[in-house]
Amino acid sequence: AARRVSGRTAAPMAVRAGRRALVCEARKVALLGAAGGIGQPLALLLKMNKFVTELALYDIANVVGVAADLSHCNTPVKVAGYTGPEELGACLKGADLIVIPAGVPRKPGMTRDDLFNTNAGIVKALVEAVAKYAPNAVLEIITNPVNSTVPIAAETLKAAGVYDPKRLIGVTSLDIVRANTFVSEAKGLDMKDVDVPVIGGHAGSTILPLLSQTTPPVTFTEAEKKAMTDKIANAGTVVVEAKAGKGSATLSMAYAAARMAESTLLGLNGEPNIYECAFVQSDVVADCPYFATKVLLGPNGVSKVMGLGELDAFEQAALAAMLPQLKGEIQKGIDFVKNPP
Ligand code: NAD
Ligand code: LMR
């Protein structure tokens, strides 16, 4: 059976194509923030993706050169660059999938929430344009703080009367990519076999890997479990510190976002059993309107939000402990649009 789970490492396209005939629809992907640290490698990966037909690259600066450069790669994906708000509509029109990494990254000593003041307005303005020009596209938000920018996007789409929770996705796939890497390394497992679901949100202790649900099953002592959980939750900060003021994760994020985009396109194309972990509107946890869990991707975006499964005692305690922060960051995003200061 062609079951793909969130932890899969992308299988070679030929293997996948050989398994069954895939429907390849014409698909336009718009990337907003395309000239940035994530935007450029993500654009390259999308240019190499056989499920993408057209790639529309938008930024406020430097995108014409990026588009010219990328357009010389001899893959069939058609590339165009768009600069500045007056060209945003043309970039978005007809898009099936819109991916947003626009905004500032962290520097050492900052939390993701410290980016709120700059990035909240950027996301709101871009999503207002999405509502106007591509209200039916699936929208994937990478911009931090994800725990707040996804509610900002939702409220912005609601205000425009075009919100559909199935089509709004907060990208947390980097947490799964990291969890799979670290657990594979720790246990000497083949990377492609390992799947660690990561739930909650995308900041500090709201990032909770479910090590007890790892495929294949692995065992950790209580001390190892805590150390591995902290390592996964702090991995973004480790990169921020290693880059020492020159930004945050870009290459691993581009890899993770490309995987999320491909899974989304497979779902849109009708491929069954495509699962990823993502931060979406959810009623899985009481009084927490957005939450990251495994979701099933389908022809309209998120087809089904999966449950938590069985948590061990450590995970239950970590889930309870994260909720005040997660709910607060969600509310901050909602208030930014609904009750602006
Ligand atoms: P970057 O500074 O290298 O690139 C950001 C790009 O956004 C720049 O090219 C900039 O010109 C552009 N931009 C700024 N305002 C814009 C606007 N109004 N419209 C269009 N483009 C605009 O930053 P980066 O390293 O690519 O990171 C981007 C964002 O992604 C940050 O907020 C970062 O925290 C976040 N991030 C999220 C995850 C995740 O797991 N979700 C992982 C890594 C980074
Ligand atoms: C990450 O997890 O790498 C991103 O959220 C960027 C950051 O600020 O850590």
Pocket test for ligand 1, best of 32, 38, 122 (most atoms within 8 A of CB): 38
Ligand 1 neighbour 151 (Cβ under 6 A): no
Question: Which ligand ends up closest to the CA of 122?
Answer: 1
Give the position, in ligand 1's atom list, of the atom nearest the Cα of 141.
Answer: 41
- Give residue 3's pLDDT: 39
- Give residue 14's pLDDT: 32
- Give residue 22's pLDDT: 60
Centre of ligand 2 from the C-alpha of residue 254, in Å: 12
Q: Which residues, at least 6 apart from 309, have a Cβ–Cβ distance to it below 8 Å?
A: 197, 210, 213
Question: Which ligand ends up closest to the CA of 105?
Answer: 1
Angle formed at CA 180 by CA 174 and CA 182, multiple of 5 degrees:
100
Centre of ligand 2 from the C-alpha of residue 105, in Å: 8
Pair 30, 91: CB distance under 8 Å: yes
Pocket test for ligand 2, best of 142, 202, 248 (most atoms within 8 A of CB): 248
Residue closest via CA to ligand 1's atom 30 equals: 143
Residue closest via CA to ligand 2's atom 4 equals: 236
- Give residue 340's pLDDT: 84
Across the chain, which has 341 residues, the per-10-residue mean pLDDT values are 40 40 82 99 98 98 98 98 98 98 98 98 98 98 99 98 98 98 98 97 98 98 98 98 98 98 98 98 98 98 97 98 98 96 70
Known binding positions: 33-39, 59, 106, 112, 119, 142-144, 178, 253
**Distance, CA of 230 to CA of 250 (rounded, Å):** 21
**Is the reported ipTM for this assembly greater than 0.95?**
yes
**Distance, CA of 77 to CA of 51 (rounded, Å):** 9
Known binding positions for substrate: 106, 112, 144, 178
**Distance, CA of 259 to CA of 45 (rounded, Å):** 9
Residue closest via CA to ligand 2's atom 8 equals: 106
Instruction: Give the pTM.
Output: 0.95
Centre of ligand 1 from the C-alpha of residue 218, in Å: 35
Q: Which residues, at least 6 apart from 234, have a Cβ–Cβ distance to it below 8 Å?
A: none
Q: Give the closest residue to 194 by CA, choosing from 220, 172, 213, 208.
A: 213
What residues does 57 pair with on adjacent strands? Answer: 31, 81
- Give residue 23's pLDDT: 61
Give the position, in ligand 2's atom list, of the atom nearest the Cα of 252.
Answer: 3
Q: Which of 4, 47, 202, 259 is catalytic?
A: 202
- Give residue 13's pLDDT: 36
- Per the structure block, which two tokens stand in for 130? 């999405």
Ligand 1 neighbour 38 (Cβ under 6 A): yes
**Distance, CA of 320 to CA of 317 (rounded, Å):** 5
72 catalytically annotated = no
* Contact residues of ligand 2, CB 6 A cut-off: 105-106, 112, 144, 174, 202, 236-237, 239-240, 248-249
Pair 139, 323: CB distance under 8 Å: no
Ligand 1 neighbour 39 (Cβ under 6 A): yes
